[in-house]
Amino acid sequence: MRQFNEILEELEENNKAIFTELQDRLITLSALLKTLKESVSKEKILWQEELKETIDLEHKLSHNKRHKSYHLSEDALKLEMEKEIAMNLYKQKIMEAESMCNVELFKIKTSIETLIPLQLLINDWNIKNSEVENPNNCKTD
């Protein structure tokens, strides 16, 4: 019977140790959970404030845009549109001029390539003519 009592006491001591460890772990986890809840609450508040600031900023920008457009007179809007149209036409004319320049440059390059053989032929004729006119100036190889 003594052995049985000793085993029971030993089990009770082990259970107390395990129970104490579990209690400590629960306390630690409870503290951690509390800290996490506080962090989540703070982040939620910060997120809500940021969202509110963003909405306010968008509202202000939208209001300013509407306010600005209401205050512009029709003449000012018409003038702004005419400036934009003129600018676009100017850009288009410059692009057309550049395109025409590129076409002319291509034609010139093509003409040069065509004229090179003729230039060589003329040079040959000039050399032969000068040899015929001045036979004393002939070169000998």
Cα Dmax for the chain = 149
pLDDT value of residue 70: 60
Q: How far is CA 33 from the centre of its chain?
A: 42
Confidence tier at 66 by pLDDT (50, 70, 90): low
Q: Where are the domains of the chain?
A: 1-71, 73-141
Does residue 134 carry a pLDDT above 80? no
Per residue in 74-103, pLDDT (tens digit) is 777 788 889 999 999 999 999 999 999 999
- pLDDT above 60 (res 141): no
In whole angstroms, give the CA distance from residue 36 to residue 43: 10
pLDDT of 96: 92
Residue holding tokens 């503290």? 31
What average pLDDT does the chain have?
Answer: 83
CA 109/CA 105 separation, integer angstroms = 6
